[in-house]
Structure 1
Amino acid sequence: MVHNGSESSLVVNVKAKQGLDSVLVELKEAMLKKYVEDLSQVGDGVLRYQSRLCVPNVDDLREQILSESHSSQYSIHLGATKMYRDLREVYWWNGMKKDNA
């Protein structure tokens, strides 16, 4: 997982797939109509919730993120709560905490 300013392949993949997730499509429409304040699309065009990358529920992207986070050499496997706190700094999806349990 890349957390720096460059656009990683994961971010490019997420950006390309956000339009395939019906929930994210509805959230984007609500954002554009100014019904939702916590969503944004900045210069990179990626939908974000409170500055966190909105991960679509397609092509096992969420599972890929969970797997990479779990197997990361930098992860000190302190349990699901720690892993969830680390992930939620960068990513968001509906049900993320439950998926991480």
Structure 2
Amino acid sequence: MKRKNWFMMCGVMVHNGSESSFVMGVKSKQGIDPVFVELKKSILKKSVEAFSQEVDGLLRYQGRLCVLDVDGLREQILEEAHSSRYSIHSRATKMYSDIPEVYWWNRMKKDITRFVAKF
């Protein structure tokens, strides 16, 4: 019997992974923000469809990580996207096409435009 099939038959799920300190910070902030707590309750009642709560407790909007404007989390994302050695001439258009693939927050485009204007 193949090892994978044995795990499936026995109902054992193995998850080997790690979580970045940034994601851990986002998760902890989501747990104390009143708006996010209410969203999580709405998800459990199935009254909100665009948002979802992952098994690890993270709140997502259409699969993207919901980021609060707390402790500079959004600024940290913008800084990384702008100054990463993997980004080339990160202007607002490029940043706005890259960041929403992973993250979500209200007024994101406005925040990105304001951030890029500083440089």
Which residue number corresponds to residue 48 of structure 1? 60
How big is the shift at 1:78? Answer: 4.2
Alignment TM-score, normalising by the size of structure 2: 0.73
Give 5+ residue unaligned stretches, structure 1.
Answer: none
Count of residue pairs brought into register by the alignment? 97
Structure 2's unaligned 5+ residue stretches are 1-16, 114-119
Indicate the structure (1 or 2) with the bigger Cα radius of gyration: 2
8 Å CA contact retained: 1:28, 1:47:
yes
Taking CA–CA contacts closer than 8 Å with sequence separation of 6 or more, which of the two structures ends up with the larger relative contact order?
1
Percent identical pairs in the alignment equals 68
Q: Distance in 2 between matches of 1:99 and 1:14?
A: 18
Counterparts of 1:97 and 1:53 in 2: how far apart (Å)? 16
What do the CA deviations read for 1:44-69 (whole angstroms, capped 9, x no partner)? Answer: 21111111000012111111111111
The one of 4, 10, 28 equivalent to 1:16 is 28
Instruction: State whether structure 2 residue 112 is matched by structure 1 residue 100.
Output: yes
C-alpha deviation, 1:77, in angstroms? 2.1
- Partners in 1 of 2:35 and 2:106 — Cα distance? 9
Structure 2 residue 44 is the aligned partner of structure 1 residue 32: yes
Q: Cα RMSD (Å) of the superposition?
A: 1.6
Pick from 88, 96, 114 the counterpart of residue 84 of structure 1. 96
1:20 aligned counterpart, secondary structure: coil
